[in-house]
Amino acid sequence: MSRWALPWRGGGRQFVRTGADGMLDVLYPVLVLVRGAGRLATLAKTRWKRTPKERRGPALFLVVACGLVLWLMPYGPLIAVASFVAAAAWYGRERAGEIVEEDEGPGEDELARLQALYEALVPYFAMPDDPHAEPMYAHDGEWGRAFEEFEFSPEGRLSALRLRYPAHFRDGEPEERLRVEQLLAAKSGRGREYRFAWDEERNRLEMTVLAPLLTGIHAQRFVTAPGETVLGFTDGGAVRRTVPVAVAGMDGAVDVPPVVWRTGARSTEPHLLAMGVPGSGTSTLLRSVALQALRRGEVLVVDGDGGGEFACLAARRGVLGVESSLAGALASFEWVVRETERRLLAASRARQVGEQVPEDARSPLWVLVDRPAVLTHLARAEGQRDPQELLQVPLRHGRAAGVSVVVAEQFEGAEDLGQAVRAYTRARVVLGPVTRDQARAVLGEAPQSGPAADTPPGRGFARLGTGPVLRLQVPATPDPYDEAAGEAEREAVRALLPDRPGLDDPDPEAPLPTA
């Protein structure tokens, strides 16, 4: 893969000096000069093609004028020849045993792709009745006017591009930017993820093809501090931290940048909302959060869907309950309200007398709610109180009471989410192949990249508070009772599950007892 900036630099043909042959040693300086002269000629040719038509005349006049000055100077021709030989030797140099690549610029197919992409951008960036004699974008224009740097993959597909756009383009309007991004992604090749970086100050747009995120990371004990939860993993350079993880198919630990969600008394986003489409991995995210939360706190799970996705947590140490019925959800949320109020009162009394807050009032309590819209629908049908109304107390006062609420819902039930859930969940996650408008509606800001057509489970975006939008891959945390999941991932979840107090976990492979 070669990256071209104008003028060209990078790779192409290969030359290798193989060693000690006498004739080669004699001819080697000549080969260096010939190679350097060819590279200079290629550089000049490419530079000439890149120069706009209106600038070619002055550029040619400047070159001729410099040549005349050198010709009339004392020793001018000798200086010119010496400078050319030195430049050829510099550009033709190579080290022993090193492969030196020569770049001849893009081929005919690549040039055609660039010109077609330029023509496709003309309706978006051109301005009717442009007063400029040679506008930057015109139907009879050349791509060299606007494209500053580009890169092609070995398959001949555009993988990076930096272009200029006119100052009159409304780059501050998300709709206008989205139209250009969709066009660039379609013309550059579907099935890949692109990142678009708009430089509104300099009127530049940079498009980059993103490498796929690792999908072989399963549930495991992550290296985190108290109050930290790993939601998933993102691109290198997007965060300043890495954690060692085990990846399927790789030997040893691999350092991967995580998306870390921090909760506690000093957290600015103590509650989380995850939205997705069916099968996108929102329940997987809840199981991953639950396994990490059980290391240092207690967990209460309310499964509004009632699909048994969290049956593996029932009766486990630290799990206060796994409810799936409307009556059980109402009773659980009422207890959470009372527990939140008790913690607040205990903390207030301790601070009034200058004592430390009791352990039972500051230990982490996690409330995990999956598909609350289903419970809301059932409550309306039976004429009972909406369970989401009871979540207002732990959502509003949960940070001070050590209570964290995690809500997962599908986009079909987004309209039934309560106002308290929308207002107090400042950490947001979107999973699945969603549109940019859907992601922006949840995250508050559109991601710089769009999801690929074939999105793996657990793939999406995350935004913590007012931070940047990050790509996210949730670690594989399937239901250990789901036989359709991989055995290695199921075994990893079983290894993290707490024991059942007073009960022995039965061996799933053991035969059933007979009478």
Q: What's the sign of the alpha-carbon dihedral 145, 147, 148, 154?
A: negative
Whether 276 has a binding-site annotation, put simply, is yes
Whether 36 has a binding-site annotation, put simply, is no
d(CA 450, CA 185): 9
Whether 216 has a binding-site annotation, put simply, is no
Whether 279 has a binding-site annotation, put simply, is yes
User: What three-state secondary structure class fits 236?
Assistant: strand
> CB 223: neighbour CB atoms within 10 A?
12
Whether 92 has a binding-site annotation, put simply, is no
Whether 282 has a binding-site annotation, put simply, is yes
Q: What's the sign of the alpha-carbon dihedral 485, 228, 232, 442?
A: positive
Which residues are 245's β-sheet partners?
A: 254
d(CA 58, CA 399): 68
Q: Who's near 416: CB < 8 A, 6+ residues apart? A: 372, 373, 376, 377
Backbone phi and psi for residue 327, each to the nearest 5 degrees, phi listed first: -65, -40
The 3-class SS string of 362-401 reads: HCCEEEEEECHHHHHHHHHHHCCCCHHHHCHHHHHHHHHH
Beta strands 365-370 and 403-410 are parallel
Which residues are 149's β-sheet partners?
A: 5, 162
Q: Who's near 141: CB < 8 A, 6+ residues apart? A: 118, 122, 134, 135
d(CA 199, CA 448): 12
Q: Which two tokens stand for residue 188?
A: 């550059």
User: What three-state secondary structure class fits 225?
Assistant: coil
Whether 281 has a binding-site annotation, put simply, is yes
Q: Which two tokens stand for residue 77?
A: 């021709």
Whether 442 has a binding-site annotation, put simply, is no
Q: Which residues are annotated as a binding site?
A: 276-283
Q: Which residues are annotated as a binding site for ATP?
A: 276-283
